[in-house]
Structure 1
Amino acid sequence: MAPKAWIMTHLRELVWFPASGFSEGPVAEDIYEWQAMLLGPSSSPYEGGIFFISIRFPPDYPFKPPMVSWKTPILTPTSTNPRLPSVTRHRYLEGWNDGEGTPPSAP
């Protein structure tokens, strides 16, 4: 399946099964460029916050993971750079699965 077809499949799933406190979708007409909005969880230091995330799918998706970056500055317990929380980045790359069982490549 071509990258664009994979991305369209994900978009359809997100429309059919929306998540609470989270929305995402393509930016303008570029299917490879997405923006997500995440609401801060209740009973947390982030409660009431609105956080924006940029998602860029590579041309060889799903064999390479999308690039994800925080647009809203956010700090985590182990982060020194508010735009690249190390906990999130580490877990994301370690847990990447292309659906075929192929391990992630080194960044």
Structure 2
Amino acid sequence: MFHRLMRALVPSGVLYASWKYGETERTEASSGRLFCDMTEQRAEALAQAEGGASIEACWISEDVRADRRSQKWLNVIFLCRKIQDDTKRDRYGARERREGGAVPATGTL
């Protein structure tokens, strides 16, 4: 998902993201939702794996909900330098359509 978000940005675009602070991945039993916690090191690894992203700012904050003050959140601002994308795009950044209106199947955005 991070890769798709970074590819959606123009060069010098920014992405703000926040995660619960930690190193756990878990699925909530009641809803089946997947949660992925994050540390500064994991966020840096995400940026490095992207090969065109860097971390502009990173900080830890506490949850603002009174009953969850002990929970910490990692906040990150990523900067997109240039992500390699071979998909042809129109002047608005959308993938070009083939005749008949079909979007080329590329497997990625």
Shorter-chain TM-score bucket reads under 0.3
Higher strand share: 2
- Greater Rg by CA: 2
The one of the two structures with greater contact order (alpha-carbon pairs below 8 A, sep at least 6) is 2
Structure 2 length as normaliser, TM-score? 0.24
Structure 1 length as normaliser, TM-score? 0.25
